[in-house]
Each structure stands twice: as C-alpha cells, then as structure tokens.
Amino acid sequence: MYPELDTPSLVIDLDVVRANVAEMAKTAATHGVKLRPHIKTHKMPELARMQLEAGATGITCAKLGEAEIMADAGIDDILVAYPIWGEPKLRRLAALRERARVRVSLDSPDVAAGLGRLGRETGSPVEILVEVDTGQHRLGRPPGRPTADLVAEIAAIPGVEVVGLLTLAGHSYHARTAGELAEVSRREGTDLVETAEMCARDGIELREISVGSTPTARYVAGVAGVTEIRPGTYIFNDTAMMRLGVATEATTGARVLTTVIARSSAERVVFDAGTKCLTSDGAGTPGWIRAVGVPHLQMDFLNEEHAVARLDPGDAAELPVGTRVQLIPSHACSAVNLFDVAYGVEGGRVVTELRVAARGAVL
C-alpha cells in the first residue's frame, strides 16, 4: 500500500474529498444558503480553492495567521471567526483588509472597540458578526434579549458595522441520536433568526445569519432565515463524524498510513503512529481510532509515537510486523495540523504532495 511513502504519513483521498466537497455544496445550493467552509480542517490553499470552485462563496478561518496564508494564495473573501485583540493583530488585520474582503466575529464591546479604532483610521468600517451562545457555552451570550442588547451596544461603536449573527453549535458533537442532532440544529438556526428579528425591532437590521458545523450543516441549512453555513470537518470527516451518523468509513478522506512495528503478544498490535500523528482528541471513546479494513481491531491507547491495539486471540495470525494499515483519526482537524505535508491519492496511487501551509498558524 503506497510503497512510495514511508510511515507514518498523512494520506488524503482526493476522490473522497471531491465527493464530500460537492455534496456539501449541493446541500447549500439546494437550500439557497451560502457555504463558507472552515479551512482549519485542512489548512491547505489547494483544498480551499477546490471548495470555492465547487460553489463556496468564501472561507472561514479561526486565526489571522490562517487567513494570511489563504490570502497569500489569492483567496479574497475571508471570515476570521475569532475575536481579534491587541495592536499587532489589528495591524495585521489592516494589512489583510487591503487584499481581501474580511469579516470578523466577536462577543464583546472590548474587542469591538479595537476594531472600531481600526475602522475609523482606515475610513472603512470593520464588518462584524456577533457570536451567539446557542448551547456550546464558549463564546457569546444567550440568544434573545442578552444578545440583542449586546448587538445594540456594539453597533453604537463608531468604525464597526454589525452585519449579522454567528454561532457554532459545538454541543452538537454530544448528540446521541439523529433526532437529537436535528433538534440541536433546528435550535441553532431558529435561535439566531429570532434574535435577529428582535434586533430588527430594536432598529438594527442584520443581513447575515451564519451557522453550522459539519454535524448540523445538513439540518440547519434548511431553517428559514439562515443565510450561511460554515462546516469544516466534512471535507475529510473522521470517526467523530461517523459516530454522529454524518459520515461513513467510505467518506473519510484523511488517514494516517502506518506500519505494524510490534506484535508483542498474540493479542497486541502496535502501529508506528501515536498522538503526535493522531492527537488525543476523543481518546477512550469506543472506536475513536479505526483501522481501515480491520473493523474488529480495538484501539487500546495511544502514546506519543505508538498506537496500541488489540485483536482477538483467534485473529493472532493477522497483521504481522511490517503490515501497513490506514488509521482514521478521531478528529481530522487536529490530526492534519500535526503534519507538514499530506499525500494526495487517487485510485490507490499517490498523485500529489500537499503542503499543510497553515499548520501551526495559531497567531
């Protein structure tokens, strides 16, 4: 399997990726919403471009550093879905705005004040999405009056323009059934739409309702009033998405190619990739790391450079030292961020080398 690659290596199945990209673009088109994929999942300009060519209207980044690298590749419509704080970042944002249409999200007048100064200095208001807490309890105030009041307070700051509301239903990752996932998604959308209506009654018209994660995207795209979805993981999927029922092994596009380096006992199988390839995300959740083609293999634990798995004693003859196996990460976004390079494959052959250009771009 991929004899031209040594292990561990990150392998991207481009056929799967193209299908995932096309399917999400179709979902957005069907519901008449814009698609603004989050590129933190892949951090590769080539794949961002693939998403744009398939119909995405722009991209989402978490950090300014990611946005700068995407702008370097000619991408010119970027949402930095993160509160930008401090003079160095404000100066970088000013430079970025000279070569791309940039929006940012935040949840406080403190952060908006810095952006307002920037907007006034440059004579061009900074477009802001106010983040709403629809249940993740990370950023944002609750929907309804708390958010409407916050929107009014921020909108009063000279130099910023509040163009819409944004949320991430990160708590959807804890849904146990499709019904729960659908309900979380419906609330994610309706909470924002209803809050925007409240803002309108307050005299502030908001034109963007930006929602969605990969688990909720297919559901929330259909909520009336939603204008934009921002899924990220869907391009690669992972075992977390499989567990949520929005992906299958066949639709996972990012895998770590590994080699069995030890069979210390009849039951034990050790691969040459650990948390420094796959991360500890999801560790211990049943099936959090899956071995392609070896569904009966149970992952026991990962150390930094080892994945330790178990076979039934009856299967002891399987997977001798030297066997190559692809492991599906629990969380593609974090795993990809550990590699400098990924290998694009098609039909079982390596066809291209992709640099994970924005890997580590945390600033």
| Per-residue CA distances from 193 to 33, 38, 197, 200, 227 (Å) | 14, 21, 6, 11, 10
Identify the sign of the CA torsion 23, 26, 31, 37: positive
Biggest alpha carbon–alpha carbon distance for the chain: 72
306 binds a copy of itself (CB under 8 A): yes
Backbone angles phi, psi at 83, to 5 degrees: -70, 125
Figure out which of the listed residues 123, 179, 203, 322 binds a copy of itself, where binding follows CB under 8 A.
322
Q: Between β-strands 9-13 and 341-346, what pairing exists: parallel, antiparallel or unpaired?
A: parallel
298 binds a copy of itself (CB under 8 A): no
Figure out which of the listed residues 339, 342, 345, 354 binds a copy of itself, where binding follows CB under 8 A.
339
Nearer to a copy of itself, 171 or 223 (CB): 171
Rounded CA-CA distance 92/17 in Å is 32
121 binds a copy of itself (CB under 8 A): no
8 binds a copy of itself (CB under 8 A): yes
Figure out which of the listed residues 34, 36, 42, 63 binds a copy of itself, where binding follows CB under 8 A.
63
Figure out which of the listed residues 30, 285, 303, 352 binds a copy of itself, where binding follows CB under 8 A.
303
Q: How far is the CB of 140 from a copy of itself (least distance, A)?
A: 6
HSE-CB at 312 with a 13 A cutoff on CA atoms is 5
Nearer to a copy of itself, 183 or 305 (CB): 305
* Binding to a copy of itself in span 226-265, by CB under 8 A: 259, 261-265
| Of 49, 118, 112, 60, the residue nearest 83 (C-alpha) | 112
156 binds a copy of itself (CB under 8 A): no
Name the residue with tokens 């930094």: 304
What 3-state class would DSSP assign to 247? coil
User: How many other C-beta atoms lie within 10 A of the C-beta of residue 142?
Assistant: 14
Query: Residue 282 forms beta bridges with which residues?
Result: none
| Pattern 263-282, a copy of itself, x by CB under 8 A | xxx--x-x-xx-xxx-xxxx
312 binds a copy of itself (CB under 8 A): no
- Which residues form the interface with a copy of itself (CB under 8 A)? 6-9, 40, 62-63, 82-83, 85-86, 88-89, 106-108, 110-111, 133, 137-141, 170, 259, 261-265, 268, 270, 272-273, 275-277, 279-283, 300, 303-306, 308, 320-322, 333-334, 337-340, 360, 362-363
